[in-house]
């Protein structure tokens, strides 16, 4: 469910409301109780990652992992070069 921003045109009270997209916009200000709310156009929150960081190398398969042997068995082994006489 998205968060919508509202502002009252009578008292200036601004707030956010967490409501489903299918619900109608709010009309009554919770502070002054007048029918003067306007839904503001927001830029959106975007995606926020928290922590030390997320890198492509965090998800690479490590050597010695159980499925690295299965993928190595599927690869053909190179043929040794003939010995020079």
pTM of full prediction above 0.75: no
- The pLDDT tens digits along the chain (85 residues) read 788 999 999 999 999 999 998 999 999 999 999 999 999 987 666 766 777 766 666 666 666 655 545 555 556 667 777 777 6
pLDDT of residue 50: 72
pLDDT of residue 65: 55
Return the bridge partners of 59, or none: none
Dihedral over alpha carbons 44, 50, 54, 58 (to 10 degrees) = -140
Which residue spans within the chain are E strands per DSSP?
Answer: 3-8, 14-18, 37-39
């Amino acid at each position: 469910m998205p968060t919508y921003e509202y502002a009252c045109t009578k008292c200036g009270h601004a707030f956010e409301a967490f409501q489903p997209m299918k619900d109608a916009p709010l009309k009554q200000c919770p502070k002054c109780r007048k029918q003067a709310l306007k839904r503001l156009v927001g830029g959106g929150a975007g995606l926020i990652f928290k922590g030390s960081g997320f890198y492509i190398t965090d998800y690479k398969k490590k050597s010695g992992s159980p499925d690295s042997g299965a993928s190595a068995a599927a690869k053909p082994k190179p043929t040794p070069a003939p010995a020079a006489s």
